[in-house]
Amino acid sequence: MTGTLFGYRKTRVNLAIQEKPRCLPMLVLELSIQTGKLLQEMELGLVRIALECEKNTNDKMKMMDEPIWSMYCNGRKVGYAVRREAADDDLKVIQMLNATSMGAGVLPMKGGVADAEGELTYMRAYFERVRSKDSETYYMMNPDGNSGPELSIFFVRV
């Protein structure tokens, strides 16, 4: 699986999950944490994002189709994540990163200058997916293979 985190430094970060780097996203979430804050957390070390939704016994909805998730970052509640359809701007970012399988950086802006929202930053990596009945976890894989995942994203029904 390919995961892409992207957003303007002063706005919320978006998460797109694709089966392969050149596929359309199967999931796009707007996370409640600002991109700049997530970057600060990642500079400090391991980041764990937990997304929780309520378990409904009458509901046959697939877990990844849930519209709203409670969001925790490194054990602290930071708000909610909202599932949405990929917008044109999201698809432009994904298309700009078609040739990138892993990496992080800043995408060029219109006219070459960042606007009031800051720079559009991204991080793209391969994620190992582990699934069970009421949870799905994505572990970011390091290309050197020497250490464990630096970023883990947990989807859990509680």
Residues 6+ apart with CB under 8 A from 48: 72, 73, 74, 75, 151, 152, 154
Mean pLDDT over all residues of the chain? 88
pLDDT band, very low/low/confident/very high, at 110 (cuts 50, 70, 90): low
**Chain segment 29-69, per-residue pLDDT in tens:** 999 999 999 999 988 888 999 999 988 766 678 888 999 99
Q: Which pair of tokens denotes residue 36?
A: 């700049």
The per-residue pLDDT for 7 is: 94
User: Measured in Å, how far apart are the chain's first and last C-alpha atoms?
Assistant: 24
Assessment of whether the complete model's pTM goes beyond 0.75: yes
Residues 6+ apart with CB under 8 A from 126: 1, 2, 3, 101, 102, 140, 141
Q: Residue 27 pairs with which residues in a beta bridge?
A: 17
Distance CA 158, CA 155 (A): 10
